[in-house]
Amino acid sequence: MKRLMTGIVIFDDIEVLDFCGPFEVLSVTRLNEARRREEPSPFDVRLIAPQGKNVTTAGGMQVLAQHTFADTPPLDILVVPGGWGVRRELENPAMAPWLRQQAQQVTLLTAVCTGSMLLGQAGLLDGHHATTHWKSLDWMRQTFPGIQVDAQHHVVEDGHIITSAGISAGIDMALRIVARCWGEDVATATARHMEYLPNQENIRRV
């Protein structure tokens, strides 16, 4: 089994559940539930920070990234979370070029909450359907008029791009990653292991 290299971007003032939700989903996924303790997840999940590896979340949690932008391994999947720190990262000159570079090689490009604003700034959502935290929908519309903003769904799939609404919606988004990569049965088993009930009616596939 080739494990899919999955990068989750983290930065100061990131929302904890924005990245921990997808991290948990992807790290507890198993292809063989009966061998949960013997076999690893089919996702090799790495935390990636723009510069230094030490990150402080919006709630004060200290997190240590495994990589920086400078030493990112080749990725199959990219997850871009959100939080208050997005406003600072929109001014980070390294962010948009790095996102564009990663977008050229990943098979799935995803964002949680206001992480979609970072994809928007990089021009990666132009002409696509996307969503973000409900408090930031107008911000997205006004800042990036080329995005077809979806205010009705918690998860929006547009080709290889998946975006979600705020915070806890990232769990549903990550389960869609599992389903896209390994099938609906594996996604269902993952949600059941987490004792999580996904809201399938709130997902839009374009």
Question: Catalytic pick from 77, 80, 95, 113?
Answer: 113
Distance CA(163)–CA(113), nearest Å, equals 8
Tell me the CA distances in angstroms from 88 to 18, 26, 67, 79, 151, one per residue in order: 17, 27, 20, 18, 24
113 given a catalytic annotation: yes
Tell me the CA distances in angstroms from 128 to 36, 101, 205, one per residue in order: 37, 18, 12
**Residue burial 148-171, b: 16+ Cβ < 10 Å; e: rest:** bbbeebbbbbbeebbbbbbbebbb
Give me the active site residues, please: 113
